[in-house]
Structure 1
Amino acid sequence: MAKKPWIGTNWKMNKTFAEADEFTRILSGSDFAVSDNVQLFAIPSFPAISRVAEALKNTKVLVGAQNIHWEDEGQFTGEVSPVQAKDAGARIALIGHSERREMFGETDETVSLKAAAAVKHGLVALICIGDTRDEFDAGRTGEVLKRQTEIALSRIDWSQSGATVVVAYEPVWSIGTRGTPAEPAFVEEKHGEIKHLFQSSLGRDLSLLYGGSVNPQNAVDLATRPGIDGLFIGRSAWNADGLVSIVRDVTDALA
């Protein structure tokens, strides 16, 4: 049986309402929006969550929030709780993105708190892990991924009904405008190591996505390799036509 990949994109701090509307118009009109062969997701910035969720309500596309706080409510100016994110229409909480870690002080511990909060409230916890260029150059990739993975999953209550956690490996040195695409063979190797961590730490498998300069040229090679359960795409999928094109190529290759 062909695997059902997760494929989606994080809009970061981009798109006006008009641009969000155009994206959802194209995506909702695609056959893939209601397909059982792929799990699509889109993660807009907070102001657009409700709008995007409403536009995609008759599809199987999951809408996400780019961050959540670990508390349900309180005096945390500028933060959004998992309760509020879910109420706005989010079904995924993106946690621990490298930009949150680097620019806003996200730590392994806060990632674990947020992941647990997401699962508690029935959100899919999409947890990002990744090594920096310095860590990669120093040969510390395996050590870093082990630490981040084990701490991120340490507070999850797996007895929660429907608890769903998805992990995305995004090498920090491979994302952004100056990112260097990782070799698919390297990604496959690291995914194998992370999958082993899931089994040794949890005794279960989790869906493991790859993100880091994913583009139309490397998407199929990545998505068809063992241990790579989907793609977390950046700028190549900010245009809905670009996302749909990659999804078509990947699902055709997996069929």
Structure 2
Amino acid sequence: MRKPIIAGNWKMNNTISQSLKLINEIKSYNLNENVEVVVCVSFTSLYEVKKELKGTNIKLGAQNMHWEDSGAYTGEISPLMLKEIGIDYCIIGHSERRQYFNETDETVNKKIKSALRHGIKPIVCVGETLEDREKAKEKEIVKEQVLKALEGINKKEEIENIVIAYEPIWAIGTGKTASSDDANEMCGFIRNTISKKYGVDISKNIRIQYGGSVKPNNIKELMDKEEIDGALVGGASLNASDFVKLINY
């Protein structure tokens, strides 16, 4: 049985003091113990938020990382730096990273391998543009992203530590949401792609989230779908009450 995972991506929001205020608000609620909860906060807030999470079941995630352990990469953050803080997850290949910061399938693959090597669980983002969908190329695009992201990763225990987040780019921050049927179909397609590459057993265990304008009024419909194992949440994760409604769907 795959454990649902609800992850909040705070993006470039919240100073340290704002992050602490939000995480303490979230902690004040009774959270569904059958859901794995992750907060992916800005680099500057990671250390302080980690201290606030002590004694809770809430997991901590970063929003990006470099694939090298160290080196002349000004402004980058290495997996060793994240590991020392004690992070559990790292978002890799978010569409905003691909769109604005030249993230490629190749760099996504390098980052996934590095994260796994250091015991950090990757949340790997894939998804098509509106133009891709209008041209009926969405499955072709997503399949290519999945296969290139996982290239050279063959150990069962590594693959099962990866979370895949299907985020149609046209639904991120736009207020538009893929229908629950469309989201379920694509998550099922991703699972089938995994099955063909790694076998049925692995595909049954890997968790696949949906992301894209997930809100309290659509979370239950999405989570009721067979292939959807959780949500990667943007804006709604910045409000404690809304985020908790997603966790306690």
TM-score between both structures, scaled by the size of structure 2: 0.94
1:194 to 184, 190, 193: 190
1:30 to partner: Cα distance:
2.6
Query: What does residue 42 of structure 1 align with?
Result: 39
- Give the counterpart letter for 2:227 in structure 1: G
Deviates more, 1:238-247 or 1:125-134: 238-247
SS at match of 1:209: strand
- Greater RCO, 1 or 2 (C-alpha within 8 Å, sep 6+): 2
1:8 alignment partner in structure 2: 7
Question: Which position in structure 1 is the counterpart of 2:172?
Answer: 175
Task: Please tell me the residue identity of whatever aligns with 2:126.
Answer: I
- Give the deviation of 1:23 after TM superposition: 1.2
Deviations 1:151-210 (A, max 9, x none): 11113352667961000000000011x342111111111111111011111221210000
Report deviation, 1:134. 1.0
Q: Which consecutive residues of structure 1, in runs of 5 or more, have no partner in the other structure? A: 251-255
Question: How far apart in 2 are the matches of 1:136 and 1:89?
Answer: 39
Distance in 1 of aligned mates of 2:7 and 2:171: 17
Tell me which residue corresponds to 1:112: 109
Deviations 1:62-96 (A, max 9, x none): 11111011111111001111111111231111100
Distance 2:126 2:51 in 1: 30
Cross-structure match for 1:68? 65
With over 3 angstroms needed to count, the CA separation of the structure-2 counterparts of 1:163 and 1:169, relative to structure 1, is: closer
User: Superposition RMSD on alpha carbons, in Å?
Assistant: 1.6
1:253 is aligned to none
Residue 151 to residue 161, structure 1, CA distance change in 2 (3 Å): closer
Q: Which amino acid aligns with 2:180?
A: P
Pairing 1:57–2:74 present? no
Question: After superposition, what is the alpha-carbon deviation per residue over 1:31-52, rounded to whole angstroms, capped at 9, x for unaligned?
Answer: 32xx530100000010000111
C-alpha contact 1:174 1:180 (8 A) present in aligned 2 = yes
Q: Which residue of 1 aligns with 2:100?
A: 103
Name 1:93's counterpart in structure 2: 90
| CA shift in 2, pair 1:229/1:159, >3 Å | closer
Instruction: Spell out, residue by residue over 1:217-252, the C-alpha distance to the aligned partner (whole angstroms, 9 max, x if none).
Output: 11100011011000111111211121112222x2xx
User: Is 2:215–2:242's contact at 8 Å kept on the other side of the alignment?
Assistant: no
Report whether the alignment pairs 1:216 with 2:216.
Answer: yes
2:151 & 2:159 partners in 1: Cα distance?
18
Q: How far apart in 1 are the matches of 2:57 and 2:96?
A: 28
Taking the aligned partners of 1:157 and 1:149, their CA distance within structure 2 comes to 14
The code of the aligned residue for 2:70 comes to E
| Paired AA for residue 235 in structure 1 | G
Q: Secondary structure at the match of 1:31?
A: coil
The aligned amino acid for 1:138 is K
SS of the residue 2:232 aligns to: strand
**Aligned AA (2:167):** E
User: Are 1:30 and 2:26 an aligned pair?
Assistant: no
Cα 1:31–1:81 shift into 2, 3 Å: same
Q: Which shifted more, 88-97 or 141-150?
A: 88-97
DSSP-derived class of the 2:90 partner: strand
Mapped to 2, the partners of 1:155 and 1:40 lie a distance apart of 29
The one-letter code matched in structure 1 to 2:162 is V
Quick one: distance in 2 between partners of 1:9 and 1:38?
A: 13
Partners of 1:8 and 1:60 lie apart in 2 by 13
Q: In the alignment, is the contact (CA less than 8 A) between 1:72 and 1:83 conserved in 2?
A: yes
Equivalent-residue separation in structure 1 for 2:224 and 2:116 (angstroms): 29
CA contact (8 A) 2:153 2:159 kept: no
